Amino acid sequence: MIAKEKGVEGITDEDIITLYWQRDSNAIEATSRAYGTYCYAIANGILKSPEDAEECVNDTWMRAWNTIPPQRPRNLRVFLAKITRNLAFDKFKSRHTQKHGGGEICLALEELAECIDAGSDLESTIMAKELEQSINSFLYGLPKRDRDIFLRRYFFVESTDDIAARYGTTRGAVLMALSRVRQKLKLYLKKEGLI
């Protein structure tokens, strides 16, 4: 269901989506006012570059304009976060080669590799949607704190030090929580027949 809460200046997500469907250019301005800071934080967390993050956010607005319609997001915030995150990862990949390392992104992906076999064949591509749904179901079954820590690390690509500071705990405690959740995820995905 589309969020009915009033955002910046009293406009709802439903109002913003309606502007897109009407092809009203004010949709982009309304989206920027309501979600600009949020999307910028996602992009900058991945890219660690204010200029690249700003460019990524602008690309997010353009991608939203080109996909709404035909899509009608049920949750605009999540829809925009996914676009921003994917664009930021694409920009990161184009900036960095495996040879030069990759900071938090490469580290986070290596951590997840123990749970998910990242094959590149057609079958893996077809199963990606099923895998996404299973991971979402798994995450909703976790305690809120574990889910938040997992998402901050693997969706928003925050460093373990930043996560520890946010939750007033140690880096070691965050690493232990992430390790436990990854083990649970691995068992869950095996049970679902996805790995």
Dump the DSSP string for 8-29. Answer: GGG-BHHHHHHHHHTT-THHHH
Average pLDDT of the segment spanning 25-39: 95
- Read off the pLDDT of residues 109-139 as tens digits, 9 standing for 90 and up: 666 665 655 454 444 545 566 777 788 888 8
Based on the domain organization, do 82 and 127 belong to the same domain?
A: no
Instruction: List the beta bridge partners of residue 6.
Output: 12
Instruction: Identify the domain containing residue 46 by its residue range.
Output: 8-95
Based on the domain organization, do 47 and 107 belong to the same domain?
A: no
Does 87 reside within a domain?
A: yes
Q: What is the pLDDT of residue 46?
A: 86
Q: What is the pLDDT of residue 143?
A: 93
- Read off the pLDDT of residues 94-114 as tens digits, 9 standing for 90 and up: 776 444 445 565 666 666 665
Residue ending a domain, choose from 73, 95, 117 = 95
pLDDT reading at 147 higher than 50? yes
Query: What CATH number is given to the structural domain containing 167?
Result: 1.10.10.10
Cα 34 → chain centroid:
18
pLDDT reading at 44 higher than 60? yes
Percentage of the chain modeled with pLDDT above 90: 49
State the amino acid at position 93 in one-letter form: K
Based on the domain organization, do 108 and 83 belong to the same domain?
A: no
Q: What is the pLDDT of residue 144?
A: 93
Distance CA 132, CA 138 (A): 10
Based on the domain organization, do 141 and 164 belong to the same domain?
A: yes
Please give the DSSP secondary-structure letter assigned to residue 6: B
Q: What is the pLDDT of residue 158?
A: 85
Does 1 reside within a domain?
A: no
pLDDT reading at 53 higher than 90? yes
Q: What is the pLDDT of residue 1?
A: 33
pTM over the 0.85 mark:
no
